[in-house]
Amino acid sequence: MAYWKTGRSEMVKKKSGNTSGRGARDLRVKVKTARGRKLSSTLWLERQLNDPYVKRAKAEGYRGRAAYKILEIDDKFRFLVPGARVVDLGCAPGGWLQVAVKRVNALGEKKGKAVGTVLGVDLQEVEPVAGAEAHVLDFMSDDADQKVKEWLGGKADVVMSDMAAASSGHKQTDHLRIIALCETAAYFAFDVLEEGGTFVAKVLAGGAEGDLQKLLKQKFEKVVNVKPGASRSDSSEKFVVATGFRG
């Protein structure tokens, strides 16, 4: 067994075992609960340290594992295309912005392809992402849609959101909160989307999403729910993808 410190009050244990005939080692980090820290926090830290998407995000330069959620969703539905104008609601820390910049060719790196626009808004400042424009803005404010259209120079082709309401610790309450947040994001999308546009947002399964589905089906040609592989299996999160905005 090998041990090393990750902080003043934590000890992490690395467990090894052979996984192939060429001597590869399967390393799993075990975290001991520090004095004064809840077991739930320790389990969260251990899960983060062993999460393959967290490791992959660090290796590939993404700001968080959530980047792989939008990558997988777009691989299936293909809405982040070169030339698209994209709005990312609640864009911090910026992983979805990074993905959008590459896929819509916001930096013009794909020669001969249309150059897209990526705009992020959040209640807090976001570390700059090359090729994206981030603004501190409450998208629920009365003039938010007008500001976004001014910044974009027109309407958006995609509105996407990985936002989640602050957790209360009560599953049903949290479900209702995120559904309400998603509905508000949907109404914002109705104001800024171009005809034929796409809306993508995170929801939590829990029974109250039926009204949201009805609302979206009135405005879009197709509405589906997906759970990308990057979403943890023990999480109730899923994503609603609405395509073909009717205007």
User: Catalytic site residues?
Assistant: 202
Q: Is 142 annotated as ligand-binding? A: no
Cα dist from 242 to 23, 79, 218, 230, whole Å: 47, 11, 11, 20
Look at the alpha carbons of 44, 45, 48, 49 in this order and tell me if their dihedral is positive or negative: negative
Q: Is 4 annotated as ligand-binding? A: no
* Phi, psi (deg, nearest 5) at residue 2: -120, 140
Q: Give the CA angle between residues 180, 74, 130 to the nearest 5°.
A: 90
Amino acid at 209: E
Q: Is 138 annotated as ligand-binding? A: yes
Do 136 and 122 touch, CB atoms closer than 8 A? yes
Query: Which residues, other chains included, contact 197 with Cβ-Cβ below 8 Å and sequence gap of 6+?
Result: 155, 156, 157, 158, 159, 189, 245
Secondary element (H or E) of residue 80: none
The number of beta carbons lying within 10 Å of the beta carbon of residue 82 is: 15
Q: Is 174 annotated as ligand-binding? A: no
Tokens 């974009």 sit at which residue? Answer: 152
Which pairing describes strands 237-245 and 193-204: parallel, antiparallel, or unpaired?
antiparallel
Q: Is 162 annotated as ligand-binding? A: yes
Residue positions forming the annotated binding site for S-adenosyl-L-methionine: 94, 96, 122, 138, 162
Residues within the annotated binding site? 94, 96, 122, 138, 162
